[in-house]
Amino acid sequence: MNKRTELSELGEFGVIERLTKSQQQTTNISTLMGVGDDCAAIMYDGKVTLVSSDCLVEGVHFDMAYTPLKHLGYKAATVNFSDIYACNGQPTQLLISLAVSNRYCVEALDELYEGLHLACQRYGVDLVGGDMASSNSGMFLSLTALGQCDKESMVRRSGAKVHDLICVSGNLGAAYAGLLVLQREKAVFLANPNSQPDLSDYQYVIERHLKPEAQKDIVKWLSDNAVLPTAMIDISDGLASETLHICKQSNVGCELYLDKLPVDYEASRTLEEFHILPDTGALNGGEDYELLFTINQNDYSKIQTNKDISVIGHITDSSCGCNLVTPQNTTIELKARGFNHYNREV
């Protein structure tokens, strides 16, 4: 009898690695970068085309109890643009395939597409096509973003080198804090439908969850200041998970300093309400869509001038492993505990 392996035994990333292990060697010379990065990269007529796809499933990635359709459309687009920026490119086109049940009306889809169009307008992207189908339950979105970059400026996950500095844009943990607030208020409403939530103290973290932005300005600033990251990834599954992706792809280790992690005051206060340490939210919360990247130490003086970029650690030899360093100078193994499809611990 053939052995049955449950998806939960491998988890999301283990399943992906197993299904794609035979595709690591590419056949076509036009394929510059395949499975294992934020985007695929394809060379045509001396230009690099970046391709990224993402899916959002109702009940898994979003909850219609607290997700406005306009915000959902905007977020669906920007999280795809974020992958393009993570390869140091510029998004140019977007395609969307949509499956919906008859629970949704035409006006609801108008609202969804209003958010999509707003995101495309903000980031200078053309919505060029897609597909539509019926669904037996809920809503399913599958998006593909196309972008461009020069071959010399394309950044992979695999370029980090020993002694490189580890940097992150913006702040971390706010999107997770916003999700916790929304989930709490949903539970309150279900217990008492007459309740009226007061979310005035949580506007920033809720916006970070419902309406994230891709880091277009950071990519432009790096280019304008002649800083080319050695490796880069966007933070969708949590800082710890994304750092481990870079280290695995680059065959290096790392040290992250807990007291260097940037956490906004409102996010910190909100996480503490839920008895979660701000560092834990920053490391494992996910959906921040900030950029995590490594740079040569020679670029440190440039990075220092940008208040939206924090240096949070450095790259070490692979033999040193991947570690967190506490303010007390204690070393702890870095582990990914963010969201992972099929993982029993999630």
* Three-state SS at 56: strand
Are 267 and 284 found together in one domain? yes
Mean pLDDT check: name the lowest of 25-39, 58-72, 77-91, 164-178.
25-39
Mean predicted confidence (pLDDT) in 71-95: 96
* Ramachandran class of 154: left when φ > 0, alpha when ψ lies in -120 to 50, beta otherwise: beta
Q: How confident is the model at residue 233 (pLDDT cuts 50, 70, 90)?
A: very high
Residue 96 scores a pLDDT above 50: yes
How many CB atoms within 10 Å of residue 70?
19
Last residue of a domain, one of 95, 123, 153: 153
Confidence of residue 341 (pLDDT cuts 50, 70, 90): very low
Q: Which residue has the higher pLDDT, 25 or 3?
A: 3
What mean pLDDT comes out for the span 263-289? Answer: 96
Instruction: Examine the fold and report which residue of 135, 153, 171 is the final residue of a domain before the chain moves on.
Output: 153
- What distance in Å separates the CA atoms of residue 327 and residue 270, rounded to the nearest whole number? 22
Instruction: Read off the pLDDT of residues 190-218 as tens digits, 9 standing for 90 and up.
Output: 999 888 888 999 999 999 999 999 999 99
Distance (Å, rounded) from C-alpha 249 to C-alpha 235?
16
136/83 same-domain check: yes
Domain residue limits at 206: 157-333
Q: What percent of the chain has pLDDT over 90?
A: 75
Q: List, for residues 284-334, the tens digit of each pLDDT value.
A: 999 999 999 999 999 999 999 999 999 999 999 999 999 999 999 999 999
Q: Does 341 map to a domain?
A: no
For residue 346, tell me if it sits in a domain.
no
| Band (43; pLDDT cuts 50, 70, 90) | confident
Of the candidates 109, 126, 153, which is a domain's last residue? 153
CB atoms within 10 A of CB 302: 15
Structure tokens at 160: 């980090």
CB atoms within 10 A of CB 13: 18
* Residue bearing tokens 């796809």: 53
User: Which DSSP state fits 23?
Assistant: G
The whole-angstrom separation of Cα 84 and Cα 73 is: 18
If asked whether residues 171 and 306 sit together in one domain, one would say: yes
pLDDT at 121 over 70: yes
Model's pTM, two decimal places?
0.88
Does one domain contain both 235 and 306?
yes
| 240 inside domain | yes
Looking at the 3D structure of the chain, how many domains does it have? Answer: 2
Percent of the chain with pLDDT over 70: 87
- Three-state DSSP class for 181? helix
294 contacts 229 by C-beta, under 8 angstroms: yes
Round to whole Å and give the CA distance between 96 and 82.
16
Hey, what's the torsion of the CAs at 313, 317, 319, 320, to 10 degrees? Answer: -20
Cβ atoms < 10 Å from Cβ of 69: 20
54 shares its domain with 163: no
Per-residue confidence (pLDDT) for residue 40, from 0 to 100: 81
Same-domain pairing of 32 and 125:
yes
> What is the C-alpha separation between 180 and 186, in angstroms, rounded?
10
Q: Are residues 166 and 296 in the same domain?
A: yes
Distance CA 213, CA 123 (A): 10
Report residue 74 as tokens: 């905007």
Q: What DSSP state is assigned to residue 262? A: -
Task: Look over the chain and give the mean of its residue pLDDT values, rounded to a whole number.
Answer: 90
Whether residues 148 and 161 share a domain: the answer is no
Residue 343 domain flag? no
Cβ-count burial of 298 within 10 angstroms (0-12 exposed, 13-18 middle, 19+ buried)?
Answer: exposed
The HSE-up count of residue 216 (CA atoms within 13 Å, CB side) is 17
Name every residue whose Cβ is closer than 8 Å to that of residue 313 and which is 6 or more positions away in sequence.
Answer: 165, 166, 254, 255, 256, 257, 260, 325
Residues 142 and 168 in one domain: no
